């Protein structure tokens, strides 16, 4: 385990201090800041929910469920594992974004974006690349700006993907039963 953690630290230092560029020093803090995108996400969510088809509305509900479930799992894991963020553990880290005192493993940002990307890629397969490119960029940005180790974002991607898989399973199993129940109830009212 010590070897893996040392390798993780070494890769972190390479990505945080060696593989850098002035463009990335601007772009990565922008892409890693949730506040830069929250208004767009909320507006898109409300528009699709109001104007979209049943499939689109259902996808939005399940995406939110996948993100919330994954986020809860991330919080539990952080409080069990207690891994200190690199920006709090070392003095020679390039810190390009806010460094909180919360624990590092797994990355909440990576968890959230991968939960959304995996579920949306399942629902809208031909757009999978559009969902995964931002997810990878956000995950990479967390290391680049100095607030997470590579294993943190990989762990977050795994937790988020797992939450999405659970949402997909619920979609496949629960939705047909719910639709059948509504159809039966509607038919009974129409006949009565």
Proportion of the chain above pLDDT 90, given as a percent:
70
* SS3 state at 1: coil
Q: Which pLDDT score is estimated for 42? A: 81
Q: What is the mean pLDDT of residues 75-96?
A: 95
* Cα 97 to Cα 147: distance, rounded to the nearest angstrom: 7
Q: How would CATH label the architecture of 2-191?
A: Up-down Bundle (1.20)
Every domain of the chain and the residues it spans = 2-191
Please report the sign of the dihedral spanned by the C-alpha atoms of residue 44, residue 67, residue 131, residue 164. negative
Which pLDDT tens digit goes with each residue over 36-74?
788 777 887 788 878 778 888 888 889 999 999 999 999
Q: What's the half-sphere exposure (Cβ side, CA atoms, 13 Å) at 105?
A: 14
**27 against 34, higher pLDDT:** 27
């Amino acid at each position: 385990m010590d070897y893996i953690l040392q390798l993780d630290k070494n890769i972190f230092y390479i990505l945080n201090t060696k593989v850098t560029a002035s463009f990335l020093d601007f772009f990565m803090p922008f892409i890693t800041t949730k506040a830069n995108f929250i208004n767009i996400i909320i507006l898109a969510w409300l528009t699709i929910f109001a104007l979209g088809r049943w499939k689109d509305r259902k996808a939005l509900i399940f995406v939110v469920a996948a993100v919330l479930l994954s986020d809860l799992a991330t919080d539990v894991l952080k409080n069990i594992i207690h891994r200190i963020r690199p920006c709090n553990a070392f003095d020679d880290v390039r810190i390009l974004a806010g460094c909180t005192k919360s624990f590092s493993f797994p990355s909440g940002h990576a968890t959230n974006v991968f939960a959304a990307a995996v579920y949306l890629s399942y629902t809208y397969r031909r757009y999978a690349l559009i969902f995964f490119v931002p997810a990878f960029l956000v995950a990479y940005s967390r290391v680049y700006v100095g607030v997470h180790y590579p294993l943190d974002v990989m762990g977050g991607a795994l937790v988020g993907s797992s939450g999405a898989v659970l949402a997909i399973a619920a979609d496949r199993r629960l939705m047909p039963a719910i639709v059948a129940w509504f159809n039966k109830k509607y038919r009974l009212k129409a006949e009565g």
